[in-house]
Amino acid sequence: MKFLTIIFILFMTTASVAGAQNRVTIVNAGYNGNNTVELLARIDKDVVAKKPQLVVMMIGTNDMLNLRNILTVQEYKKHYQELIDIIKKHSKLMLMTTPPINVEYLKQRVDQSHYAPDGPQARVDSANAVVRELAAKNKCHLIDLNRILLACGGSTEDKESLFQNVPNFNINDGVHPTANGYKVIGTAVYQAIVNTYPDVSSIVCFGDSITFGYKMHGEGTIKGDSYPAVLNRMFNQ
C-alpha cells in the first residue's frame, strides 16, 4: 500500500533523530467545525497562553465547505494572515494545506449551489493556494499535506482509503481521515519538525476537526489516533 511505503520511508529518514529528542509536550488544540474566525476567537486561550515554542496550524476545510462557517476565499485569506501575525509574535509557526476531499460524497450531502460558481473542489484548491502563498510571504515552513495525501491515493470510496467513507467507516464522509490517514499526517509533521526545528520541546497543534481527530479514538487529546496523538508517540515513546 502506498501510505505504508511512505510511512516506512519517512520513519527510516527520521528514526536516527528520534532518539536524540528531549521529551516534547504536545497539545491538541483542534476543535470540530472551526473556521479561521473561530480560531482567532480562541487563539489567546488555546495558543498564546500555552507559550508553545512551535505551532502547527491547519485550517480551511470549514471556511470552504461547512455551510455554517463558509467564507469567501478573500475573507479566508484575511483571517489567515491575522492568525499568522499573532502566532509569529509568540512562537515559531508551521502551516499545512488542507487534505483532499471526496466531491461525490459532498454532492450527496450538500446542495452544490452553496458552492457556486466553481464548486467545492475549486474552493479547496483556492484555499490551499492561499496557504502556499502566505507560507512563502511570511517565511513559514509549509507541509503540503494535500499533495502528500493525494500521493497516497487521496479521498476515494475504496475500503483502503485514508479517509472515512462507507466501506471503511459506514459514513459518506470523504473529508476526515481514518487512523491510517492520521499516521501519514503525523509522520509528515514529525519529519518536518525534526528536520526544521529539532530542538523544540513544546508544540500546539491548532486547527479544526481534522486536528481534533473527528470520530477517532481519543479525539481531542494526544492519546489514540489523531495526528497530535501520533506525533506524541513519535516524540515520546
**pLDDT recorded at residue 13:** 44
Please tell me the total number of residues recorded for the chain in this structure: 237
Give the model's pLDDT for residue 237. Answer: 87
Report domain extents, the chain: 31-236
- How many Å separate Cα 175 from the centre of its chain? 11
Tens digit of each residue's pLDDT (9 = 90 or more) over 179-193 = 999 999 999 999 999
- Pick the closest to residue 72 from 116, 137, 10 (CA basis): 116
- Per DSSP, 177 falls in state B
Q: Do 35 and 59 contact (CB within 8 A), yes or no?
A: yes
**The three three-digit cell numbers of residue 139, written as one number:** 517565511
Q: From start to end of the chain, where are the E strands?
A: 25-30, 54-58, 92-96, 141-143, 202-207
pLDDT at 139 (0 to 100):
98
pLDDT band at 35 (very low <50, low <70, confident <90, very high): very high
Topology given in CATH for the domain delimited by 31-236 = Rossmann fold (3.40.50)
- Cα–Cα distance, 228 to 185 (Å, whole number): 9
Q: Greater confidence, 217 or 118?
A: 217
Q: Residue 22: what pLDDT?
A: 56
- Calpha distance 134→68 (Å, rounded): 25
Threshold 0.85, pTM exceeds:
yes
Q: Are 153 and 147 in contact (CB under 8 A)?
A: no
Cα angle 164, 168, 169; round to 5: 60
Burial class of residue 107 (count of CB atoms within 10 Å of its CB; 0-12, 13-18, 19+): middle
